[in-house]
Structure 1
Amino acid sequence: MLPLKLTNRCFAGTTAAFFMVVNLAKLISFSMLGLFTRTTLLTSLVLTPVAVLGIWAGVRLNRCLNVTLFYKCSHVILLVIGTRLIYTSLKIIL
């Protein structure tokens, strides 16, 4: 999506919507596997304020960054994550 040069808000919103759909699809299989226990639900409840704080910080940061800086940060993050994935894959193979 980076080559589309969307606005900060449009890029973040599209990414958030995509991951929401993916995570909702995982709910069915996770519940069928019995992964929702009392412990996992309580842990999720305890961590909910942290998630809300992260969303708030992300929205504020998204509003503050200009488009050029936003895309530079996005490319750097993508490079770091891609490098880590390649390193991990090579570590497993070798």
Structure 2
Amino acid sequence: MSGRRGLVWGMNNGTQTALERAFELARSGRCKGMDDIRSALATEGYAQAQITGYSLSKQLRALMKAASPPEAHPAPVSSGALQDGAD
């Protein structure tokens, strides 16, 4: 492992940690949720021990949302738009 003990390597010949790969997957637009990221990491041979915690999940979800097409998260309807003819 050439001096980088404790890291789990995937099918990429040791160039990324599981955490780095999780961020890459989130930005790719391929994953729609945390379960998709965990599944992809497992498929690629990464351990998922680093992929925990509220702050990390929040960051990854924000990246996935930004990478998804606009129709995947429609604009919210304002409360004023729900009132029929109220002026």
Task: Give TM-score scaled by structure 2 length.
Answer: 0.25
Q: Give the greater-gyration-radius structure (CA).
A: 2
Higher RCO, Cα 8 Å, sep 6+: 1
Task: Give TM-score scaled by structure 1 length.
Answer: 0.23
